[in-house]
A and B are shown apart, each in its own frame.
Chain A
Amino acid sequence: MIPREINIHGVYVPPFLIVFVMALISAWATAWLLNRFRLARHFAFPRVVFVAFVALYTIAFGTFIIRI
């Protein structure tokens, strides 16, 4: 897949922006679930883990869903 801009009603936005927003929402959802089931207590620095989730989701979405 070749990275290309995404057309939203005539406004061309970079694919990275879309992927980043998707990763952010997914990381938020994951963090919420981990909090909900008290699994977050097993992490030493949850805020750093949150940033890691964003990075991992960005790479995953950028590789498999929207090429960045």
Chain B
Amino acid sequence: MISRRVQDAFKLALALVIAAGTSLVLGWDNPKWAMFAVAFSFLATGGETLAKGLMRLAGTLIGIVLALSFLALFAQDRWAYAASVSLWLFICGWFIAGGSRIWYMWFVGGFMVILLVEYSQFDARTAFDVAVLRMQQTALGILIYTLVESLIFSNPAKEAFKSDLLAQIGRVRQGFGVLTAGFRGEIGPAECRDEARKLGQSGIELQKMLTARLDGATVESFDVLERREAWRQAVTVLAGLIDAFAHWRLGFADLHDGSTHPLPPGLEPVLQEIDRRLAAAGALLAGCTSFTPPRQVAIPQVTEAGDGGDPFHQGALAVSLMALAEIERASRGLLLAVADGQGLSGKGIRGGARAAARSSLIPATILPDPERFAGALRVSVSFLLSFLIFVWFPDIPAASMLLILSTNIALIVSRAPATPIGIVAKIGMVMILLGAALHIFVMPHLTSFAQLAVMIFVVSFAITYMFHDPKVAIGRTLGLAMMIVLMQLENRQSYSFLYAANLATAFLVPFGIVWLTGIFPVSFRPEDAFRRLLRRYMRACLALLETMTGDRPVPAGWWQRQIRAWNLRLIQTIPQQMTPWLNAMPDAALPGEGRARAQELLEALQALSHRIEDLFLLSRAGAGRRRHRELMPGLREWCDGVAAICRALRDDPQSLSRPDSAIGPVRLTRLRDLAASLVLRNAGATQGDGPQDGRDLLRELTALRGVGEAVSGLLPLARGVDWDRMQEARF
């Protein structure tokens, strides 16, 4: 059996040879463009490659239309041209930085505008010819790879998508089993935390992969195309389910804090039904043609007990049951979505799946994510800087390449801003040396296309084989790109050392520009980005806590709701954004245990986000708002404690480690007293005396305690990081 790695390398190498040969036979200029289309569209499955190829075509088309428009409007005014192109690049960067599913279309559409104008030397008629040729070559490359993929070692995206989804559902079911044991108190909270962490990490990566696979399968299969909404919902609901698990496990420590508390009766059928739904969804994906629809199960209510035990236990149980209700809804949605995707659809099934998918979404807001804005701005500034060099130093080697490459790199970096530019530049230089060696030492000795084909095949096979893993895809992209560019393939072939030397010089300048835009106007130094995001997170926390604990009037207006949704979105997304920055930080910034503490700090921030979301859901229900004011003397102690820690982490985390620091864990004694009095009141209340209100308030107090504990939990972790050392200047 030939491994997938060898199969992929063989297909790509063969497609490159055929693309080069066909383009040369047809007598078209720039055969490298057809080879680029093959090399850059290549992905793990046929459908994904085709989807990416179509995005490349769509981007090329958009780029052509815009390039011709800009030429028609601004051919005589270079500054108006620069302003309009930078605006267009900002738009492209905005969508790429926002994680658009069709990011590749924006990427190609962005740099194509510059490429066409540069190749045509600002001449509209030449630009049209170049545009037509580029479109032809791109279409040719995609067509050839699609044919090769269909005929040799075909790897359908549909099967890959279903098998990945099945594996992920199996993983989720296994995680549910572990968390259920934790809920019952059979295993400790630490094991549950590890399981939820592993599940969360694999979930983020798999959701990205599943989305890409689904897009590929949609292009490849009519069957999937017809039911793409159902599959999309399945992926969204699965992510929501993993998120709900993280919520659920947070309360386990409070439920089993050394003493044994009985769980309310009626929970077992709920847990069994959720497990059955996950198993049924897996069975459907494995080929089962029938299923039992989700059964209605009621989440039991917390029973009252004024027995003098931990007053927060009831509240913790109520909050856990709230998370369990979310898991129940998501598991129902997942089974219905998978059934719908497999063609077992009915009206009720579709409606149920959609409702569950909606409930998993992050609140929408029109206010932009500042990090996304900064990423898009970097693209525009990179282009403008390279344009200034192009205008003022026209004799710089390969000046047009400078414009194209710097924009290209900036667009790629906007998708993953923590990418270490220096390492990418080094890989690129190695690949340039490889390409230059081929151009100078090998190619002049080739006397026929057969010999050239062997060289292209061997080199591209080796590069694809070596950089097959998606994590090192940048090496494959750069390797193939440099090989294709430096071959300088034409029907009338010429060789020049100067060409290779100029390209090497031209290659370094764009990296220098992108490196510069990593300093100005917004710093993308990992240490600065990490601190900036932490500051923003704490600012959002403070704003949310102030609006949710009644310090301010109820946010009723549209603008206040937008601000609140923006802050909620920030606290949900920032811990994920901080992870790549932490990984990119040098060891000198986090000596000793610093990196491990910072990693734990990120996990604690994620837990705090979940706690705040719980509080938000409870406070959104509106109950207790009036009573918050009545309870303010009790809440004040909590508010002051939480705010002091958040402010210290926002303004100067190092101050927490100083001996004179007066900031300590949030004191929860007043909350505990309040909760105890509520438990007693609820136990004695009659049905008409508002026990539900008391229960709501108890749940809120529990959520407040959860937030207090989560914020206090940040203290030892923040003290374990040397923030001054992290912020130190270094090369």
8 A Cβ contacts from B485-540 to A:
497, 501, 515, 519
Knowing A11-B497, A47-B519, the reply to whether A35 touches B729 (Cβ < 8 A) is no
A44 touches B (CB below 8 Å): yes
Q: How far is the CA of A47 from the CA of B525 in the complex (A)?
A: 11
Knowing A11-B497, A35-B588, the reply to whether A50 touches B729 (Cβ < 8 A) is no
* Most A-side CB within 10 Å, residue of B519, B588, B728, B731: B731
Contacts of A31 in B (CB 8 A): 731
Q: How far is the CA of A44 from the CA of B519 in the complex (A)?
A: 13
Closest to A11 in B: B497
Contacting pair A46 B497 (CB below 8 A): no
Contacting pair B497 A35 (CB below 8 A): no
Contacts of A46 in B (CB 8 A): 729-731
A45 touches B (CB below 8 Å): yes
Contacts of A34 in B (CB 8 A): 731
Q: How far is the CA of A46 from the CA of B729 in the complex (A)?
A: 7
Contacts of A64 in B (CB 8 A): none
Q: How far is the CA of A35 from the CA of B497 in the complex (A)?
A: 37
Contacts of A44 in B (CB 8 A): 729
Knowing A35-B588, A47-B519, the reply to whether A41 touches B497 (Cβ < 8 A) is no
Contacting pair A41 B729 (CB below 8 A): yes
**Taking the nearest CB of chain B, how far is it from the CB of A2, in angstroms?**
23
Closest to A50 in B: B731
Q: How far is the CA of A4 from the CA of B132 in the complex (A)?
A: 47
Closest to B730 in A: A40
Contacts of B515 in A (CB 8 A): 47
Closest to B512 in A: A51
Closest to B731 in A: A31
Knowing A11-B497, A35-B588, A47-B519, the reply to whether A41 touches B731 (Cβ < 8 A) is no
Closest to A28 in B: B731
* Most B-side CB within 10 Å, residue of A32, A34, A38, A50: A38
**Taking the nearest CB of chain A, how far is it from the CB of B595, in angstroms?**
17
Knowing A11-B497, A35-B588, the reply to whether A41 touches B519 (Cβ < 8 A) is no
**Taking the nearest CB of chain B, how far is it from the CB of A39, in angstroms?**
9
Q: How far is the CA of A42 from the CA of B729 in the complex (A)?
A: 7
Where chain B touches its partner, the secondary structure class is loop
**Taking the nearest CB of chain B, how far is it from the CB of A8, in angstroms?**
11
Contacting pair B728 A43 (CB below 8 A): no
Q: How far is the CA of A34 from the CA of B588 in the complex (A)?
A: 12
Contacts of B730 in A (CB 8 A): 35, 40-41, 46
Q: How far is the CA of A40 from the CA of B497 in the complex (A)?
A: 39
**Taking the nearest CB of chain A, how far is it from the CB of B63, in angstroms?**
33
**Taking the nearest CB of chain B, how far is it from the CB of A46, in angstroms?**
5
Contacts of B501 in A (CB 8 A): 17
8 A Cβ contacts from A4-43 to B:
11, 17, 31-32, 34-35, 38, 40-43
Closest to B518 in A: A47
Contacts of A11 in B (CB 8 A): 497
Contacting pair B729 A43 (CB below 8 A): yes
**Taking the nearest CB of chain A, how far is it from the CB of B425, in angstroms?**
12
Contact of B728 among A41, A47, A50 (CB under 8 A): A41
Q: How far is the CA of A40 from the CA of B727 in the complex (A)?
A: 12
**Taking the nearest CB of chain A, how far is it from the CB of B443, in angstroms?**
16
Contacts of A43 in B (CB 8 A): 729
**Taking the nearest CB of chain B, how far is it from the CB of A42, in angstroms?**
8
What is the 8 Å Cβ interface bit string for chain B, positions 689-731, against chain A (1 contact, 0 not)? 0000000000000000000000000000000000000001111
Q: How far is the CA of A4 from the CA of B130 in the complex (A)?
A: 42
Q: How far is the CA of A11 from the CA of B728 in the complex (A)?
A: 45
Contacts of A42 in B (CB 8 A): 729
Closest to B497 in A: A11
Contacts of B731 in A (CB 8 A): 31-32, 34-35, 40, 46-47, 49-50
Q: How far is the CA of A18 from the CA of B271 in the complex (A)?
A: 71
Contacts of B728 in A (CB 8 A): 38, 40-41
Q: How far is the CA of A40 from the CA of B588 in the complex (A)?
A: 11
**Taking the nearest CB of chain A, how far is it from the CB of B729, in angstroms?**
5
Q: How far is the CA of A47 from the CA of B523 in the complex (A)?
A: 12
Contacts of B497 in A (CB 8 A): 11
Q: How far is the CA of A2 from the CA of B409 in the complex (A)?
A: 40
What is the 8 Å Cβ interface bit string for chain A, positions 45-61, against chain B (1 contact, 0 not)? 11101100000000000
**Taking the nearest CB of chain A, how far is it from the CB of B648, in angstroms?**
23
Q: How far is the CA of A46 from the CA of B519 in the complex (A)?
A: 11
Contacts of A47 in B (CB 8 A): 515, 519, 731
**Taking the nearest CB of chain A, how far is it from the CB of B531, in angstroms?**
16
Contacts of B729 in A (CB 8 A): 40-46
Question: Known pairs A34-B731, A35-B588. 8 more at Cβ < 8 A?
Answer: A11-B497, A40-B728, A40-B731, A42-B729, A44-B729, A46-B729, A46-B731, A50-B731
Closest 6 CB pairs of A and B: A31-B731, A41-B728, A40-B730, A46-B731, A46-B729, A35-B730
17 A-B Cβ contacts within 8 A?
A31-B731, A32-B731, A35-B588, A35-B731, A38-B728, A40-B730, A41-B730, A42-B729, A43-B729, A44-B729, A46-B729, A46-B730, A47-B515, A47-B519, A47-B731, A49-B731, A50-B731
Q: Which residues in B have some Cβ–Cβ distance to A below 8 Å?
A: 497, 501, 515, 519, 588, 728-731
